Structure 1
Amino acid sequence: MSIHSIVDIPGVYAASATNAEAGTGCTVVVCPTGATGAVDVRGGAPATRETDLLRPEETVQTLNCVVLSGGSAYGLAASCGAAEELERNGIGLNVGVGVVPIVSSACVFDLACGSADVRPDGRMGADAVRRALGREETTLSLGNVGAGAGCTVGKLCGPARCMKSGLGESIATHGGLVCGAVAAVNACGNVVDPRTGDQIAGVLSPTLDSIMTPEEAWDDASASMPLRTNTTISCVVTNARLTKAQATKVAQMSADAYAHAIRPTHTTNDGDTIFVMATGEVEAPVDLVGVTSTRALEDAIVSAALHARGAYGLKAACDLAG
């Protein structure tokens, strides 16, 4: 079976719900039978749900859904709708009197795009889960959709010179091992192709026709990093068989992708978060899973910038010559 998207991985479902006019949305990754879950949070300003539960020492062993959402902290409401829709489908931890879906979530700040007073809510989260379980996206939609609808990058010099980013995805394999990554890239820094060093999207020059390096942006007199309005949130999905401790190590290793493809990253004004979901089909060394996941996440970050389209008065990578 050819794997081109995380929705091609057996037992994995994913889809987005988008309000394009408001510039916001959410993206869900669902494992109905449960996956081994983990998380790594490195940014200084995260907006998250159910991350403590994913620690290796905690007793819940499976994760049913990851919700990546816009709306800043308001967007956490989407995960409540996602959980309710999963419950309606009988998906979750059996607690004797019913099921409790295990849903973790992280949000990006996208209130500056579109409408600041429109955020992902329970209905949007439920809609994304319905679309995922119904296989409405045979390949996950990318760019200005879902959690990427209002994403921007390159904000070291303020919002007037940032660029549009979005939702990205990539798959990396090694033999029978599959690692997929989906990322909503709303970083303070620039997106860089780690293989070539080329800057793909970031801080625009004062003439708005080229991308400045982070060093040039730091020295720019207008440099003014917006406080706590940046975050890259991701979900890595692998068919590897991992314990929670091993999945946590994979999440930690995957964070290297942020450093490779976003400059600067993990700043005090980013809420960078990476979830891992392991479906347990293939035996593979933990370090190999970590390296392969890192490669997938690097390419997903680049994909987010390349698939974005100019919107809300902002340019995207496709709008720059060359």
Structure 2
Amino acid sequence: MHPGPLNLITDVPGLKVGNAEDRQLKSGTTVLTADQPFTAGVHVMGGAPGTRETDLLAPDKSVAQIDALVLSGGSAFGLDACSGVVAGLRAAGRGFAVGPARVPIVPGAILFDLLNGGDKDWPDNPYPALGRAAYEAADHQFALGTAGAGTGALAARVKGGLGSASFVLPDGTTVGALVAANPLGSVTTPGDRHFWAAPFEIDGEFGGAGVDPASGFTTPAPSLKLASMQKLAADAAIPAEGSNTTIAIVATDAPLTKSQCQRLAIAAHDGIGRAIVPAHSPGDGDLVFAVSTSDPGAAITDGEPAADLGEIGHAAALCLSRAIARAAALARPEPCDLLPCWQEI
């Protein structure tokens, strides 16, 4: 396996990603869309998810394909970013046909960034406009780090962010990952210079610090994130539950059914567990969407060997680990930050 030419999820043919952010707000939205509707699944392993229209991705539900996926900051307010994307798709004539009407199908997930030093005293919810802007900005190239849904993201001890990575398998199949990393856990080993994902790094893509020789079976260092949030809230108690999340999308051009996309999402969660310690906690909303851009009619049928799906799932997990580390490694310092960037340590 080797990274695709962009080392982004958009190495998967047909996919585009757009970002929109508000620097004063310290928040933003990321949209993944495609030239044509695509097949998708989802799997949630965190204890505090925030989602929209994820039920329809279940294999037993009728909607076969969707038009876009949204990752957004803003907690519950950020779910309205999906409405902005729906409006943009409708204006473009996209959506599920119901007679003459078109209904764009846009599932989404959010992360909590309401206590990160940004100005949250808005008169009107800004996220519908951010969603529309992110959709209209969708392209093959897009920014990482302090961008889109990762604009205000924080990990336990350093800033989080938006990350992406890709692999091309020996048979030519492309796999990619996109993540907004805002976890309760740490992306770095104690000392904060080495990433937990270091064994999977390729060509110094997230700083080249290498594996921490002293990491072993250690207890993660105390969270600076919760302490900073409590200070910002005038020392009011900030529950860990619901104030964190790693939300991600993995994608492939291999033809998969909805149920196979769900299996791919399950496998990809291994990438979160390898890159964040601890992961999938009661205080996280950890979620992975999985996407196939090819005709599901050519997919492996039930009862056939699923070796190819296993290899794709393994590649997706590795891509997701790398993307999480890239999210933090590429984060940039900005005014009123609560935590340092990894680059500053």
Normalised to the residue count of structure 1, the TM-score between the two structures is 0.85
**Higher share in strand:** 1
Q: 2:172 aligns with which of 157, 169, 176?
A: 176
1:304 matched residue in structure 2: 327
Distance 1:75 1:91 in 2: 22
Tell me the residue number matched to 2:119. Answer: 115
Match of 1:164 in 2: 159
Deviations 1:265-301 (A, max 9, x none): 1111100111111001686821111111111111111
| 8 Å CA contact 1:151, 1:165 repeated in 2 | yes
Distance in 2 (alpha carbons) for counterparts of 1:290 and 1:197: 15
* Deviation for aligned residue 1:163: 2.0
Which residue does the alignment assign to 2:37?
34
**TM superposition shift of 1:3:** 4.8
More off after superposition, 24-33 vs 279-288: 279-288
The share of aligned pairs that are identical, in percent, is 35
Report if aligned partners of 1:235, 1:276 keep a CA contact under 8 Å in 2.
yes
Tell me, yes or no, if the aligned pair for 1:214 and 1:264 is still in contact at 8 Å: no
Report the Cα distance in structure 2 between the residues aligned to 1:241 and 1:71, rounded to whole angstroms.
33
Query: Of the candidates 151, 154, 161, which is equivalent to residue 153 of structure 2?
Result: 151
Alignment of 1:127 onto 2:145: no
- What is the CA-CA distance between 1:94 and the residue it aligns to? 1.2
Once the two structures are superposed, the pairs formed by residues 260-271 of structure 1 within 5 Å of their partners are: 260-271=274-285
Residues 245-282 of structure 1, C-alpha deviations (whole Å, 9 max, x = no match): 11100000000111100000111110011111100168
Distance in 2, matches of 1:61 and 1:54, equals 8
Matches within 5 A, 1:157-306: 162-174=157-169, 175-191=171-187, 192-196=195-199, 214-217=219-222, 226-280=240-294, 285-306=308-329
User: SS of the residue aligned with 1:190?
Assistant: coil
Distance 1:2 1:195, change over 3 A: closer
Structure 2 CA distance for aligned equivalents of residues 23 and 9 of structure 1: 29
The residue number in structure 1 matching 2:341 is 316
Q: 1:197/1:90 Cα in 2 relative to 1: closer, same or farther (>3 Å)?
A: closer
Partners of 1:46 and 1:181 lie apart in 2 by 19
Aligned mates of 2:7, 2:132 — CA distance in 1: 25
Contact 2:257 2:299 in 1 (8 A): no
Q: Say whether the 8 Å CA contact 1:45–1:228 is kept in structure 2.
A: yes
Distance 1:254 1:188 in 2: 19
Q: How many residues align?
A: 294
Q: Partners of 1:49 and 1:289 in 2: how far apart?
A: 26
* Superposed CA offset, 1:74-104 (max 9, x none): 1000001101110110111111122111101
Deviation at 1:316, TM superposition (A): 1.0
Gaps (5+ residues) in structure 1? 155-161, 201-212
Alpha-carbon distance change, 217 to 117 in structure 1, aligned in 2, over 3 angstroms = same
